[in-house]
Structure 1
Amino acid sequence: MSQHREMQVFLAVAEAGSLAAAARALQLSQATVMRTLNALEQRLGSRLLRRGPRGVQLSPLGARFASHCQRILQRLEEAERSVTGLHARPAGQLTLALPLLMTHQVLMPIAVDYLAAFPEVSLATLAREELPRLLEEGIDLAVVVGHLPSSSGFAIPLGQVRPLVCAAPAYLERCGRPASPDELSAHRTIATSSTGHGGEWRFAGSVVKLAPRLICNTPQAAIRAALAGFGLTRCLSYEAHQELHSGQLLRVLEAFADAPVPVQLHYREGRRAAARVRSFLDFAVPRLRAHPAFQV
């Protein structure tokens, strides 16, 4: 089997995390995929994949080799497209990872307009609160809230979001506004366990320990409880952007808010990125930067 085909098979396995899934995607038998990988590892004299009962994972050498393979195959694909003219016509599936509430609060109107402008592109969104592994998970782009490691590839800043405490007007009318974080102990609080800080809220220069009356496993559930007037909740500003803008929720303790957090669009390959990735960057980045959810 040619080196080009070996790289294709290896990348398919790396992205799928499964020999069987890669074999189906390539329309090859699983035995052929295994023989190809074994031949590749023997030729290179290195273990590229770690096989286990739950699938396969890239070794450190495998991750580096996969990055090189991705670039080589992409250059070949773009060279072929430059001959046929397809490089100027973005097509195929674009996979975008971003936090779940950002899809609802920010992305979807922009995504619909993008798909209307590029009818040969389809879009798949994946909910990822943590930093996604672009190569291993087959993700083209990711909106990341927070700081990226210096070795994470390419990133475009979109703006900032801020941690905040909010509640429904009805709750504040009934129970009053806390004047400082120390007064939270006299209020009903709604915590989110998925953030890892359900029992404490961080403010500028202080951390307040809580005994929340309600603990939700997702930010959207906590926001829904706050909308119902149950109590105070803490979230990032984009997570409740529409509710804050409409006045359904009101901010409190703004003078004590923690520092803002950067929002970035993370991707691979830079200028060598596929046409569908470049088209999304050109179309969406100005709109995302102008979105009020990222203006704090």
Structure 2
Amino acid sequence: MDRFESMAMLVAAIDNGSLSAAGRVMHVPLPTLSRKITELEARLGTRLLIRGTRKLTLTDAGVAYVAAARRILEQVDDAEREAAGEFQTPKGELVITAPVFFGRLHVLPVVTDFLALYPEINVRLLLVDHNMHLIDEHVDMAVRIGKLPDSALYATYVGPMRSMVCASPHLLATHGVPTVPDDLRRFPIVRVAMPVPTPGWQFRSPDAGGVVDIPVSPRLAVSTAEAAVQAAIRGVGVVNLMRYQVLEAIQAGQLKPLLEPFELDPSPIHLLHASRGQMPLKMRCFLDFARPRLQAILA
């Protein structure tokens, strides 16, 4: 029996919440994965998992064993990377993810300059608007916009990003200019459709010192920020987007910022990576290369 393989399957089962989910992540048939864990328990002479109908629960022995297995697997992973030279020479594949619009505008130019400087590193840049799971999906580094939840990941702050409400000069000429957030109730709205829709837009309340929610009903809902910008330029409605998404249209006079005194605090942008042992040199080189360049852009 491959003990390391069985350890990895057990850890994957706990991290993913079920044997079937772990099997999908590891591309292993469920009966094989279940048998491997059962064989591991038999070898150890103790039960590690309580397999309930809804979730997996570790026994006391399982808690201790999984903690030790994580350390062992991380040490083996680091040893393999070191043997391959990733800790002495910046080389190998680097997997980076970023939001689509921000990635195209700002991350891609940084990556192309980085590749010119490090000929032994290859980059796979994944531009998606959902948060990928760094460990499960084998991602080395992520650009994240917004407040981060508590996790066992390392985050490097690179700068702030405002959200801005904008509309076309034509729309404002037709409907007037809103002076307070509540005025938006009489305006057509363009929204980017989210997996979990929010009831409205939030603004700072200068008088109350808190936050107010303004319910908005979209005249048009689209799937990307770029489509929302184009719709707003055409006068379909008001948009509420990140500054980098509307900056070009504002500079061209196609959109006008609105309600700036009521904006919420800017969202932080971080470079995120897993805190797993020693960092491979390819990741350290990219972090040191990308951080000052992104900071200059956001400044």
**TM-score between the two structures when normalised by the length of structure 1:** 0.77
Larger helix share, 1 or 2 = 1
Describe the SS at the equivalent of 1:105: helix
Say whether residues 1:281 and 2:281 are aligned partners. no
Could you say if the C-alpha distance between residues 70 and 283 of structure 1 is closer, same or farther in structure 2, counting changes exceeding 3 Å? farther
State whether residues 11 and 66 of structure 2, in contact with CA within 8 Å, keep that contact through their aligned partners in structure 1. no
| Residue matched to 1:121 | 121
| Residue matched to 1:77 | 80
Name the aligned partner's letter for residue 146 of structure 2.
G
State whether residues 191 and 199 of structure 1, in contact with CA within 8 Å, keep that contact through their aligned partners in structure 2. no
For 2:227 and 2:52, how far apart are their aligned partners in 1? 38
Alignment map for 1:149-168 (pairs within 5 Å):
149-168=149-168
For 2:173 and 2:216, how far apart are their aligned partners in 1? 22
State whether residues 168 and 235 of structure 2, in contact with CA within 8 Å, keep that contact through their aligned partners in structure 1. yes
**TM-score between the two structures when normalised by the length of structure 2:** 0.76
Describe the SS at the equivalent of 1:88: coil
Alignment map for 1:1-296 (pairs within 5 Å):
1=1, 3-4=3-4, 6=6, 19=23, 22=26, 36-43=36-43, 45-47=47-49, 67-81=70-84, 87-194=87-194, 196-197=196-197, 199-205=199-205, 206-269=212-275, 272-291=278-297, 294-295=298-299
Q: CA deviation at 1:107?
A: 0.9
For 1:20 and 1:245, how far apart are their aligned partners in 2? 47
Percent identity between matched residues is: 28
State whether residues 204 and 256 of structure 1, in contact with CA within 8 Å, keep that contact through their aligned partners in structure 2. yes
Describe the SS at the equivalent of 1:280: helix
For 1:221 and 1:59, how far apart are their aligned partners in 2? 45
State whether residues 164 and 236 of structure 1, in contact with CA within 8 Å, keep that contact through their aligned partners in structure 2. yes
Could you say if the C-alpha distance between residues 118 and 8 of structure 1 is closer, same or farther in structure 2, counting changes exceeding 3 Å? farther
Could you say if the C-alpha distance between residues 248 and 196 of structure 1 is closer, same or farther in structure 2, counting changes exceeding 3 Å? farther
Name the aligned partner's letter for residue 99 of structure 2.
P
For 1:128 and 1:264, how far apart are their aligned partners in 2? 16
Which aligned runs of 4 or more in structure 1 are off by greater than 6 angstroms? 8-15, 29-34, 48-52, 57-60
1:31-76 superposed Cα distances (whole Å, 9 cap, x missing partner): 8777655434544642499999xxxx99786986675355212321
Larger Cα-atom Rg:
2
For 2:199 and 2:72, how far apart are their aligned partners in 1? 45
Describe the SS at the equivalent of 1:265: strand
Could you say if the C-alpha distance between residues 276 and 51 of structure 1 is closer, same or farther in structure 2, counting changes exceeding 3 Å? farther
1:135-158 superposed Cα distances (whole Å, 9 cap, x missing partner): 122111111122223333211001
Q: CA deviation at 1:229?
A: 2.2
Q: CA deviation at 1:102?
A: 1.5
Q: Runs of 5+ in structure 2 lacking a partner? A: 206-211
State whether residues 74 and 274 of structure 1, in contact with CA within 8 Å, keep that contact through their aligned partners in structure 2. no
For 1:50 and 1:137, how far apart are their aligned partners in 2? 26
Q: CA deviation at 1:217?
A: 3.5
CA RMSD, Structure 1 to Structure 2 (Å): 3.7
For 2:229 and 2:198, how far apart are their aligned partners in 1? 14
State whether residues 199 and 212 of structure 1, in contact with CA within 8 Å, keep that contact through their aligned partners in structure 2. no
1:210-239 superposed Cα distances (whole Å, 9 cap, x missing partner): 232212233332222112222211112233
State whether residues 10 and 66 of structure 2, in contact with CA within 8 Å, keep that contact through their aligned partners in structure 1. no
For 1:128 and 1:39, how far apart are their aligned partners in 2? 39
User: How many correspondences in the alignment?
Assistant: 282
